[in-house]
Amino acid sequence: MLARGAAAVWSLVALSHSVVAQPTPAPGPVVVAPAPAVAAAVLPDDAFSREAPPGHLKFRVFAGADGLRNLVIISIAQDDEGFLWIGTEDGVYRFDGERFTHFSVEEGLTSSLVHAVGVAPDGAVCVGSSNGLSCWDGIRFASAASRGMPAVPIQTMATFGGKLWVGTDGYGLYVREPDGEFAPAAGWPGATSATIRALWADADGLVVGNGSTVELTTGDGVWRNIGDAGLAQDVVEGVLRDREGALWIRTATHMWCLPPGAAHVIDVSEGLPTGYELVNVANGMAIGPRGEVMVGTDVGIAYRDSGHWRLIDHAVGMPAAAVRTLFVDREATLWIGAVGGLYQLRGRGVIERYDVPSGLPGNIVWGFKRDREGTLWVGTNRCLVRAIAGAWNCVDGTLGRVFRGIVFPPQGGVFAGGSPSDLLYIDPAGRVTSLDFDRNDDRTILSLAIGPEGDLWIGTSLGMYRLAHAVPGPIQPLQSP
């Protein structure tokens, strides 16, 4: 039998081969630091986002102190050298990762009121304003690269098929041909006086909002209309094609989805906040770092997850409310343009912070596991916590305890322990059974594991113990050779 001075067993791993009991030499003093008042978890799968409450995200804020003097961000683009170009109501800013450089009419812009920023096929940054288009020549902005483009308000632009496509306010769709001249897009079925607010380009072609319908082309001058797909008569404000080929169509009051090959759209507006701040704003939709559809709204960012809209708003640390533009750079970092500044979502949006202010009952986390149904269980310094229906809940009968070990036996339920020294078994019906050790020594349960033979192995501050068949019963001390 283990002596009083037996070694503490801090960790157990269920092995694929038989367990041979060996005495553990007594180590020197060991100090184990618990997790510092927070549980930070990399999101492993969709189940986590479905069941766990929202955690806090980390944002970096850029504003006046950083040199970004105008805080109404309208459009964002990234050039071939990696610089970000930010369109505002007072010109455009270039961000090199440390500082912002401001460009206005004095540097060649046609107007300081910028509507859209894009990158042409030759790598030049082009800026569409309330008075036409100008492109960066390496020294300043100039109109030489916009020959043929009238001095009219530019709403949006995109590069596809080696050409720069430009949507205007009241003058239809223009394209810059290989000879460098802009001309109305060949075969465009819409009116030459149309206002083009929505433009999307990807490897499969160009998607263009045309009034209250949508046109598609592969750039060959042939256009395909989605037909009478069931859209309302609202003007199309934004379009996006996701990685599965579905079209997402945003109007001032609705969001529609047209799956690949489908003849009619699906109304997916339920749960999506309003987006009135995005009316007449380009790039209010994006494909997120993990392939999710993301939409700017009046209260933050909405993203599609498992058939529902989830929100990134003040509740999870979003500093601003009304989001006007979204941009995912080549490093998969999300940049957010809002009324109030430029925001960078740190950690690529896959790391969330959970602590007491965000609703986690304990301020120290010792471990976490999922059961067979995918429910997340967390051992804290206050209770055993379970995530249910988007909220953290202390399991009945566990309040006032510290939990360091959690394991799920084959028959269901959960074994959990820490201190006080007794082991708890919570059966599938929620009934709690306390299992005491052979002596009332002041021990702490440090780890739990199911062995290959089906027994529950218990690592404690006074050595290792075993519970036969992992069912409630006598706890046996490990016998030394």
Per-residue pLDDT for 215 more than 70? yes
| Same-domain check for residues 334 and 393 | no
Q: Are residues 43 and 147 in the same domain?
A: no
Where does the pLDDT of residue 3 fall: very low under 50, low under 70, confident under 90, or very high at 90 and above? very low
Q: Are residues 303 and 345 in the same domain?
A: yes
CA distance 280 to 115: 9
* Residue 437: per-residue pLDDT: 86
How far apart (Å, rounded) are the C-alpha atoms in residues 258 and 323?
A: 24
Residue pLDDT, tens place only, 378-401:
999 999 999 887 788 999 999 999
Q: Please indicate, yes or no, if residue 269 is contained in any of the structural domains.
A: yes
More confident site: 179 or 456:
456
- The average pLDDT across 324-331 equals 92
pLDDT at 15: 42
69-92 pLDDT tens trace: 888 899 999 999 999 999 999 999
Percentage of the chain beyond pLDDT 90 is 60
Higher-pLDDT residue of 178 and 17 is: 178
10 contacts 32 by C-beta, under 8 angstroms: yes
Nearest 5°: CA angle at 42, between 57 and 457? 135
219 HSE (CA, 13 A, CB side): 19
> Average model confidence (pLDDT) for the chain?
85
Residues 118 and 187 in one domain: yes
Q: What is the pLDDT of residues 218-240, one digit of tens each?
A: 998 999 999 888 888 888 999 99
Q: In the predicted model, is pLDDT for residue 434 greater than 80?
A: yes
Do both 360 and 295 map to the same domain?
no
| Residue 301, beta-bridge partner list | 296, 312
Q: Is 22 inside any structural domain? A: no
Question: 46: pLDDT confidence band, cut at 50, 70 and 90?
Answer: very low
- Enclosing H/E stretch for 426: strand 423-426
What pLDDT, in 10s, does the model give residues 107-130? 999 999 999 999 999 999 999 999
How would residue 277 be classed by pLDDT, with cut points 50, 70 and 90? Answer: low
For residues 212 and 43, give the distance between their C-alpha atoms in angstroms, rounded to a whole number. Answer: 38
* Token reading at 130: 């309330």
pLDDT at 164: 96
Decide if 25 is inside a domain: no
Q: Which pLDDT score, from 0 to 100, does residue 106 have?
A: 96
Residue at 294 is within a domain: yes
Please tell me whether residues 436 and 293 are part of one structural domain. no
Query: Mean pLDDT lowest for which of 4-13, 229-238, 314-323, 343-352?
Result: 4-13
Mean pLDDT computed over 401-414: 94
Rounded to whole angstroms, how far apart are CA atoms 66 and 55? 28
pLDDT of residue 278: 58
Question: At 475, phi and psi to the nearest 5?
Answer: -95, 125
User: In this model, does residue 23 exceed pLDDT 60?
Assistant: no
Which of 334, 354, 374 terminates a domain? The answer is 354
What the block records as the tokens of 237 is 């404000």
Any domain includes 279? yes
Domain-ending residue, one of 302, 324, 354:
354
Q: Tell me which residue of 42, 37, 52, 57 sits closest to 314, measured CA to CA.
A: 57
pLDDT of residue 351: 56
Q: Would 21 be classed as within a structural domain?
A: no
Helices (H), 157-312: none
User: Are 395 and 319 within one domain?
Assistant: no
Mean pLDDT of 417-440: 89
Total structural domains in the chain? 2
- In angstroms, the CA 51 to CA 106 distance is 53
Average pLDDT over residues 259-270: 95
**73 lies in which domain range?**
59-354
Q: Are 178 and 306 in a shared domain?
A: yes
User: 302 and 396 share a domain?
Assistant: no
Peptide bond into 452 cis (omega under 30): no
446 neighbors 7 (Cβ within 8 angstroms): no
pLDDT confidence of residue 19: 41
98, 123, 103: which is closest to 114 by C-alpha? Answer: 103
Calculate what percentage of the chain has a pLDDT beyond 70. 84
What's the pLDDT at 26? 34
The answer to whether position 328 is within a domain reads: yes
Return the CATH number at 50. Answer: 2.130.10.10
Q: 182 with 299, same domain?
A: yes
Distance (Å, whole) CA 342 – CA 325:
10
Q: What is the pLDDT of residue 12?
A: 59
- Taking the CA atoms of residue 238, residue 84, residue 155 and residue 203 in that order, the dihedral angle to the nearest 10 degrees is -50
Please check whether residue 4 lies inside any domain of the structure. Answer: no
Q: Are residues 295 and 184 in the same domain?
A: yes
Spatial contact of 231 and 213, defined as CB atoms under 8 Å apart: yes
> What is the model's pTM?
0.70
If asked whether residues 350 and 363 sit together in one domain, one would say no
> Of 324, 354, 384, at which residue does a domain stop?
354
pLDDT value for 401? 94
